[in-house]
Amino acid sequence: MKIHVIHGDLTKTKTDLLVVNEFEGVKKLAGATGAVNDALGGIIDDIAKEEHFEGKEGETLLLHTHGKIPAKRVLAVGLGKREDFSAEAVRRAAARSVKNAKLIGAKHVASILHGTGAGGIAPAQAAQAMAEGILLADYDFNKYQTKAPEKRGHTEISDFVIVTRDAPNVREGKHGLEKGIQFANASMYARDLVNEPPSVLTPSHLAEYAKKLRIKNSELSIDVEIFGEKELEKMGAGGLLGVSRGSDEEAFLIHLHYRPVTHVKSKVSRVKKIALVGKGITF
């Protein structure tokens, strides 16, 4: 899936599914959502009343445009109460957009940049959250599937365009989008490892994956150290080695050491160190 941030007018955007939003308790639609509603002759307001759509977080409202605007359908997503709004709400709204698009078979999706107006979210932060929500909702571990996704009833979204009426938001949005894509790709990389069968992801293979994470530059440093059974014996890691005796595979302990920018530049830092211990057990 390709994701873009562009400057444009949602009422003139040709797409299979056009995504707008609404906060809970709003009496009159405004901004880009209001513009789409006006272009449709107030149909969003009318159907929202009929379907008791109130803009609560998690609510969605899907309707046909009947040719009144270039988009075939419009999806309104609820953002919840404005005072509770956050980047996480943006992330979830974007994810719901993807799930609804797949349900109706929409391959081309265009969306408002959630939260940059009344929500008070910075364009970069909003675009980052949207990228994360879009890609993680689209994630599908199909490496061992013999049938193409569409033959399994899964619609493949080809492009997701984030449209903003404010030209200055595009540049910031693109920076946030890039960061969100990186974060989402990292999450999906971890999901792929979790979903691999144990016959494929053996301890030695997991160690090889870990080695690929090694990086060192002016921005950050990730050191990777792999301890084999001899090193583990010296450590006195009897519990780990005891569990490993039930396998034909050699045991490994993977140590990743991440140093953020402050550590790399100053070398000496008073920032507290945090240790995360993961039970990535595989046989």
Q: Where are the domains of the chain?
A: 2-195, 203-266
Which pLDDT belongs to residue 201? 92
> What average pLDDT does this structure show over 71-93?
97
> What average pLDDT does this structure show over 64-75?
97
- Give dist(CA 160, CA 101) in Å, integer: 10
Q: Specify whether the backbone of 267 is left (phi greater than 0), alpha (psi in -120 to 50) or beta.
A: left
> How far from chain centre, in Å, is Cα 47?
30
- Give dist(CA 76, CA 44) in Å, integer: 8
- Range of 10-24, 184-198, 249-263 with top mean pLDDT: 10-24
- Local structure of 17: helix, strand or coil: strand
- 2-195: CATH superfamily: Leucine Aminopeptidase, subunit E, domain 1 (3.40.220.10)
Cα-flanking dihedrals φ and ψ of residue 251, to 5°?
A: -85, 145
Under a CB-based contact definition with an 8 Å cutoff, are residues 218 and 260 in contact?
no
- Is the pLDDT at 263 greater than 60? The verdict is no
Please report, for the chain, how many H helices and E strands are present, in that order: 9, 9
- Is the pLDDT at 214 greater than 60? The verdict is yes
pLDDT tens for each residue of 91-131:
999 999 999 999 999 999 999 999 998 889 999 999 999 99
- Is the pLDDT at 150 greater than 70? The verdict is no
What the block records as the tokens of 75 is 């999806």
Beta bridge partners of residue 3, listed in sequence order: 160
Which pLDDT belongs to residue 269? 57
Beta bridge partners of residue 163, listed in sequence order: 6, 112
Beta carbons within 8 Å of 220's beta carbon, 6+ residues apart = 258, 259, 260, 261, 264
Q: Give the predicted TM-score (pTM) of the model.
A: 0.88
Considering Cα of 238, then 244, then 250, then 256, what sign does the dihedral take? negative
- Is the pLDDT at 11 greater than 90? The verdict is yes
- Local structure of 74: helix, strand or coil: strand
Work out whether strand 108-112 and strand 159-164 pair parallel, antiparallel, or are unpaired. parallel
Flag the least confident range among 23-37, 139-153, 242-256: 139-153
Q: How confident is the model at residue 262 (pLDDT cuts 50, 70, 90)?
A: low
Rg of the chain over CA atoms, in angstroms? 23
Percent of the chain with pLDDT over 70: 93
- Is the pLDDT at 176 greater than 70? The verdict is yes
> What average pLDDT does this structure show over 130-140?
97
Cα-flanking dihedrals φ and ψ of residue 189, to 5°?
A: -60, -45
Under a CB-based contact definition with an 8 Å cutoff, are residues 69 and 57 in contact?
no
Which pLDDT belongs to residue 172? 96
Which pLDDT belongs to residue 68? 97
Which pLDDT belongs to residue 268? 55
- Local structure of 247: helix, strand or coil: coil
> What average pLDDT does this structure show over 4-8?
97
Which pLDDT belongs to residue 58? 93
